[in-house]
């Protein structure tokens, strides 16, 4: 009787160990081999958004297949390992939240609120979309940080796609000191902005110059112009600011000290 019980216990743990080995092998195969092959193959025929989505489906299918193999080969012990792992994982990651993220991921795939390589604002985060998978969206920020946002938050929160309509606004505030002809300043700023090589052409993107206010011995002028791509705005803003200052100084107009909030490198139209 004791020998039979020991054999049963030993067999149970042997099957459980086999289940763990199969699960580990399935994970390695899916993550390190098959998914990379699938991604490389799909990337030849479709954009990054669909590559991420289909890769996620393949990964999920492989996990389910691995579970099926474990149960078929190891019986009760393997089934127990699968159930315990699934329940533990559900509590660890929050099954309700995960389901919501996956549903939102499917919604993103078909409604295409944004795609990989587009610039978006999701809630309080702005960046370039570098990955959309079944449960989350990854952004690359201007500070070179990777931000991972659950798809349910991306879909249900405030979402701004900066890439679907051309045009990013550069807004530059120029202080001019002392006595001067305001009409001349407005004309010089408008002409310089209109001749700026980096701006978008067309009536919809005509530069705007605003007399923004009067300070102590200083008048403020604001110049708006538009460029095509967001990453360019940081560099274009510096380039345009330099040209505006040089044009004013060439006319003998003194540029004053800029306020701390003068630089606003790029705002989406």
- Only one residue has tokens 């009067």, namely 214
Is residue 109 within 8 Å of 90, Cβ to Cβ? no
User: What integer is the mean pLDDT of 228-253?
Assistant: 84
* Per-residue model confidence (pLDDT) at position 162: 85
Instruction: For the chain, give the percent of residues with pLDDT over 90.
Output: 18
Is residue 178 within 8 Å of 186, Cβ to Cβ? no
The two tokens of residue 176 are 């001019």
Instruction: Name beta bridge partners: 220.
Output: 175, 213
Strand, coil or helix: 140? strand
Strand, coil or helix: 136? strand
Rounded to 5 degrees, φ, ψ at 10 are -60, -45
To the question of domain 111-161 being in CATH 3.90.1170.50, the answer is no
In order, the DSSP letters of 31-94 are IIIIHHHHHHHHTTTS-HHHHHHHHHHHHHHHHHHHHHHHHHHHHHHHHHHHHHHHHHHHHHHT
To the question of domain 168-268 being in CATH 3.40.50.300, the answer is no
Instruction: Name beta bridge partners: 214.
Output: 219
Average pLDDT in the chain: 76
Q: Do domains 111-161 and 168-268 have the same CATH topology?
A: no
Q: Angle between the 230-250 and 182-194 helix axes, to the nearest 10 degrees?
A: 140
In whole angstroms, give the CA distance from residue 199 to residue 136: 35
Strand, coil or helix: 144? coil
Strand, coil or helix: 19? helix
pLDDT band for 192, please (50, 70, 90 cuts).
Answer: very high
Lowest mean pLDDT among 52-66, 123-137, 162-176: 52-66
In whole angstroms, give the CA distance from residue 238 to residue 64: 54
In whole angstroms, give the CA distance from residue 80 to residue 65: 16
Q: What are the structural domain ranges in the chain? A: 2-93, 111-161, 168-268
CB atoms within 10 A of CB 134: 22
The Cβ-side half-sphere exposure at 179, using a 13 Å CA radius, reads 0
pTM of the entire predicted model: 0.55
What per-residue string of b and e applies to 38-64 under the rule 16 or more CB within 10 Å gives b? beeebeeeeebbbbbbbbbebbeebee
| Residues 209-232: tens digit of each pLDDT | 998 777 777 889 999 998 887 666
In whole angstroms, give the CA distance from residue 37 to residue 31: 10
pLDDT band for 102, please (50, 70, 90 cuts).
Answer: confident
CB atoms within 10 A of CB 116: 17
In whole angstroms, give the CA distance from residue 30 to residue 132: 18
Whether 77 has a pLDDT exceeding 60, the answer reads: no
């Amino acid at each position: 009787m004791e020998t039979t019980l020991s054999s049963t216990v030993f067999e149970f743990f042997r099957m459980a160990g086999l289940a763990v080995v199969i699960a580990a092998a399935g994970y390695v195969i899916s993550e390190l081999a098959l998914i990379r092959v699938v991604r490389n193959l799909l990337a030849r025929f479709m954009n990054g958004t669909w590559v991420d989505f289909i890769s996620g489906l393949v990964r999920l299918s492989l996990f389910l297949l691995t579970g099926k193999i474990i149960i078929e080969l190891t019986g009760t012990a393997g089934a127990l390992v699968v159930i315990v792992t699934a329940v533990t994982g559900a509590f660890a990651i929050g099954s309700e939240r995960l389901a919501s993220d996956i549903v939102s991921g499917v919604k993103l795939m078909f409604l295409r609120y944004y795609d990989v390589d587009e610039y978006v604002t999701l809630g309080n985060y702005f960046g370039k979309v570098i990955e959309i998978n079944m449960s989350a969206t990854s952004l690359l920020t201007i500070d070179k940080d990777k931000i991972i946002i659950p798809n349910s938050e991306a879909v249900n929160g405030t979402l701004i796609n900066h890439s679907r309509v051309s045009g990013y606004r550069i807004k530059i505030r120029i202080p001019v000191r002392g006595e001067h002809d305001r009409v001349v300043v407005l004309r010089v700023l408008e002409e310089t902005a209109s001749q700026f090589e980096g701006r978008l052409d067309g009536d919809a993107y005509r530069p705007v110059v605003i007399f923004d206010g009067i300070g102590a011995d200083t008048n403020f002028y604001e110049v708006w112009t538009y460029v095509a791509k967001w990453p360019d705005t940081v560099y274009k803003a510096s380039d345009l600011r330099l040209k505006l200052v040089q044009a004013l100084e060439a006319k003998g107009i003194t540029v004053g000290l800029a306020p701390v909030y003068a630089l606003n490198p790029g705002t989406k139209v």
